[in-house]
Structure 1
Amino acid sequence: MEERIATCGIEPGQWLDVEWPPTGGMSDEGHVHWTEFEPCEKHYETYDESGDESAFGDCESCRQRERVVDKAKWTFHTTVRTNRIYFDGAGHERDREEDSDAGVEVAVIEQDPEDILIGPSGEGRYW
């Protein structure tokens, strides 16, 4: 909300009305992959013949396989309305909606894609 106020401003007599809870969905499913093993010059020929990278696990010059996680993202949006107090012709206090924005992003949550379960829960499955 602070970002919206900083961008759009808010004047005396105005207030923001926020629909809650927000709606959300997965905006990026994420990805998990492993980097390729790359032998150093010293081990290149030996690895090329054997194809067994485990023999070079202690070599600091060989680039070992690493697990890379690109996190999944869940994005949440809500509607924000700008309202204002005013007085009618008879001097009665009233309020009216001046603006409405249905696509205000209020949160982004990142999650390891391997922890996401889509489908029914059950034994051996966790949420």
Structure 2
Amino acid sequence: MATLLQHMRLWMQRFVEKFEACMERMMDAKIQAVHKRLDTFELRVLERPGPIVENTTSQTKLARLYFDGYALLAHTEAVPETIDVVKVDDLVLSTLFGDQIPAPKPSRVAVMGTTSSDDTSDDEEARPVCKKERQQVEAT
């Protein structure tokens, strides 16, 4: 049995050596393939013409863009609201509401919170005035 184990040990050592040599060759082949692909990639990149950068044209375009933007912003800031539009707005408001814009009627919650008799008398007095103003506007 001892001789059989010695033969097996020798055979296993040779098998491991052959296997390691085979794996080493296979890894070398794969490494060479990767290096070959990297070399072809580098050659393609080096053969490709690089972009030509002209600083003068890009600087000129940038300066134009800056001045155009500045001109647009300066133009919008300098334009005041025309007087005619303001007069028309005032005319419309004065025609609709007279010289004085009436206050909005209080909501129910606000009225319920206040129990002063002065508030109710003001509302009662304001109703005929509003009615008269509406009649005058309708008559014109």
Q: TM-score range by the shorter chain?
A: under 0.3
More helix by share: 2
**Greater RCO structure (CA 8 Å; 6+ sep):** 1
Q: TM-score, normalised by structure 1?
A: 0.20
CA radius of gyration, larger in: 2
Q: Which has the higher strand share?
A: 1
